[in-house]
Amino acid sequence: MAEYIIKGGKRVCGEIDISGSKNAALPIIAASILNAGKTTLYNVPNIHDTQMMFEILKKLGGNVTKKNNKIIIDTSKVNKYEIPEDLMRQMRSSVIIVGSLIGRHKKALFSYPGGCDIGTRPIDLHLRAFEKMGINIGKNYGNITCSCDKILGEKIDLDFPSVGATENAILTACLAEGKTTITNAAREPEIIDLQNFLNKMGAKIRGAGSNQIEIIGVKKLNDVSYNIMPDRIEAGTFLCLSAMTGGNIKINNTNSETITPVIDKLEEAGCKFNIKKGEIEILAPKKLKAVNIKTMPYPGFPTDLQSVFATTMTIAKGTSIIVENIFENRYKYTQELIRMGAKINVEGKTAIIKGVRKLYGANVKATDLRGGASLVMAGIVAKGTTKIENIEYILRGYEKFDQKLQKIGVDIVVK
Ligand code: UD1
């Protein structure tokens, strides 16, 4: 397993480009199965999770080629409907292929998904949405079979606005008979990106971004070319890093509207922003003020930035209260931060952080993707050298992370 070595104590400064969104790219790559033809994608981040998704497509009979900055996917020969168990275990988002397989073959076979260990992560809402649309579900020792004669447009009311369940319901409904209405749908910007992509392919979807989405089934979808939206979680990570180091950076290829809650909270902590179309510049004060956050479904504060923001607060003036409402096991990284001198007390879904003057370099281990990125941030401000093990978790979601960090003045190497 590779590791990062960081010499800390630096203030970040400069400009970087934000990559395409991981969480938009994954369902869009999965959706390419639906047109049984060609999909050309731009701005796909070159990270472990998108590579895994391409591997699954290839195992199903698809062809993926890379030409300069575009990825061409040909799914005309996708003839399998079984997602290989080893790939399914490696990445939770692999479950997002199921809706497309049902749409294409009226059949899918898969096992319970794996992924980051941040909570139990059930898929009951996905399965209930499939059942509502006339899909028969069979369960046998951890394997799940979905099959049907036809997919029926239906009314689906989600118990919780799950991002993945909303996406899977949309993907299944594109080629269904009749109209599907999803209520209590997730409102994340990545769902709008999926809607825009599918509509460009010929689907009839409206309402993404609100809590009610309507899909009118069509008979066939076309070849398509699409540019993936920028990654709002990567943007939020770099803004928090800049805030934490008292830095001044400008991020390009971004959309400030998708990270409003993060910008608002960083402003409350004392940061100043200069926002233009596609660009955000942040100027951080010498010392941040402690602020509280609660994670919520969009448009609330994103759970994927909880660890990043909490880490920023470890050296703020005062005490911050962090409440994690989405995933129950998302505080593992705090144990590693404590080794670096942070004062954090976790009780259930709440973390109480007492700001300290300094963090100190230590040997730590990434335990999940975003928690791992948070340790990198801590290493950058810490006095001394930090060694971070298990960086494979971080590489699942951040493209060229070390190179981008070097560009803004961080002393980081991969070993
Ligand atoms: C997506 C994102 C992930 C983000 C999360 C919440 C992708 C690839 N991943 O994950 O980065 O952290 O949204 O914003 O887009 N739940 C159930 N039953 C289900 C499905 C979900 O109980 O069938 C629960 C989960 O355990 C969790 C909550 O709903 O507590 C939110 O999960 P969900 O929105 O589905 O997250 P993902 O789609 O897995």
Position in ligand 1 atom list of the atom nearest CA 297: 14
**Taking 90 as the threshold, does the pLDDT of residue 1 lie above it?**
no
CB of 250 closer than 8 Å to CB of 275? no
Q: Is the Cβ atom of 158 under 6 angstroms away from ligand 1?
A: no
Confidence of residue 118 (pLDDT cuts 50, 70, 90): low
Alpha carbon distance 253, 257 (integer Å):
13
Position in ligand 1 atom list of the atom nearest CA 161: 34
Lowest-confidence pick of 109-123, 133-147, 274-288, 355-369: 109-123
pLDDT in tens, 175-201: 999 999 999 999 999 999 999 999 999
**Taking 70 as the threshold, does the pLDDT of residue 120 lie above it?**
no
DSSP category for residue 107: E
Q: Is the Cβ atom of 160 under 6 angstroms away from ligand 1?
A: yes
Average pLDDT over residues 387-403: 96
Residue 79 tokens read as: 């003839």
Tell how far the Cα of 225 is from the centroid of ligand 1, in angstroms: 27
Tell how far the Cα of 9 is from the centroid of ligand 1, in angstroms: 35
Average pLDDT, the chain: 95
Residue with the smallest CA separation from ligand 1 atom 15 is 23
In the chain, how long is the greatest CA-to-CA distance? Answer: 64
Average pLDDT over residues 94-98: 94
Q: Is the Cβ atom of 23 under 6 angstroms away from ligand 1?
A: yes
Confidence of residue 169 (pLDDT cuts 50, 70, 90): very high
Position in ligand 1 atom list of the atom nearest CA 302: 14
**Taking 90 as the threshold, does the pLDDT of residue 380 lie above it?**
yes
**Taking 80 as the threshold, does the pLDDT of residue 114 lie above it?**
no
Q: In what order do the strands lie in the sheet with 63-67?
A: 63-67, 70-74, 38-42, 224-227
Tell how far the Cα of 72 is from the centroid of ligand 1, in angstroms: 28
**Taking 70 as the threshold, does the pLDDT of residue 33 lie above it?**
yes
pLDDT in tens, 311-339: 999 999 999 999 999 998 899 999 999 99
**Taking 60 as the threshold, does the pLDDT of residue 115 lie above it?**
no
pLDDT in tens, 38-86: 999 999 999 999 999 999 999 999 999 998 889 999 999 999 999 998 8
Average pLDDT over residues 372-388: 98
Residue with the smallest CA separation from ligand 1 atom 12 is 304
Residue 53 tokens read as: 């998704």
Q: Is the Cβ atom of 298 under 6 angstroms away from ligand 1?
A: no
Position in ligand 1 atom list of the atom nearest CA 233: 11
SS3 34: helix
Tell how far the Cα of 12 is from the centroid of ligand 1, in angstroms: 32
Residue 351 tokens read as: 């973390």
CB of 245 closer than 8 Å to CB of 14? no
Tell how far the Cα of 4 is from the centroid of ligand 1, in angstroms: 29
pLDDT in tens, 224-271: 999 999 999 999 999 999 999 999 999 999 999 999 999 999 999 999
Position in ligand 1 atom list of the atom nearest CA 298: 14
Q: Which of 53, 120, 163 to mutate to test the pocket of ligand 1 (most atoms within 8 A of CB)?
A: 163
Containing 358, the helix (H) or strand (E) segment is none
pLDDT at position 93 is 83
Tell how far the Cα of 123 is from the centroid of ligand 1, in angstroms: 9
Position in ligand 1 atom list of the atom nearest CA 163: 34
Q: Is the Cβ atom of 245 under 6 angstroms away from ligand 1?
A: no
**Taking 60 as the threshold, does the pLDDT of residue 349 lie above it?**
yes
Examine the residue annotation and report whether 116 is marked as an active-site residue of this protein: yes
Q: Which of 44, 48, 49, 121 to mutate to test the pocket of ligand 1 (most atoms within 8 A of CB)?
A: 121
Residue with the smallest CA separation from ligand 1 atom 33 is 162
Average pLDDT over residues 33-37: 98
Q: Which of 160, 301, 330, 369 to mutate to test the pocket of ligand 1 (most atoms within 8 A of CB)?
A: 160
**Taking 80 as the threshold, does the pLDDT of residue 113 lie above it?**
no
Buried b (16+ CB within 10 A) or exposed e, 335-354: ebbbbbbbebebeebebebe
pLDDT at position 173 is 98
**Taking 80 as the threshold, does the pLDDT of residue 117 lie above it?**
no
pLDDT at position 91 is 82
Confidence of residue 92 (pLDDT cuts 50, 70, 90): confident
Tell how far the Cα of 344 is from the centroid of ligand 1, in angstroms: 26
- The Cβ of residue 179 has, within 10 Å, a number of other Cβ atoms equal to 14
Q: What's the pTM value of the predicted model, to 2 decimals?
A: 0.97
Average pLDDT over residues 102-120: 79
Confidence of residue 144 (pLDDT cuts 50, 70, 90): very high
Alpha carbon distance 358, 244 (integer Å):
11
pLDDT at position 112 is 80
Percent of the chain predicted with pLDDT > 70: 98
Residue 214 tokens read as: 């309507």
pLDDT at position 79 is 95
Q: Is the Cβ atom of 278 under 6 angstroms away from ligand 1?
A: no
**Taking 60 as the threshold, does the pLDDT of residue 8 lie above it?**
yes
Q: Which of 13, 116, 174, 240 is catalytic?
A: 116
Alpha carbon distance 399, 334 (integer Å):
24
**Taking 80 as the threshold, does the pLDDT of residue 29 lie above it?**
yes
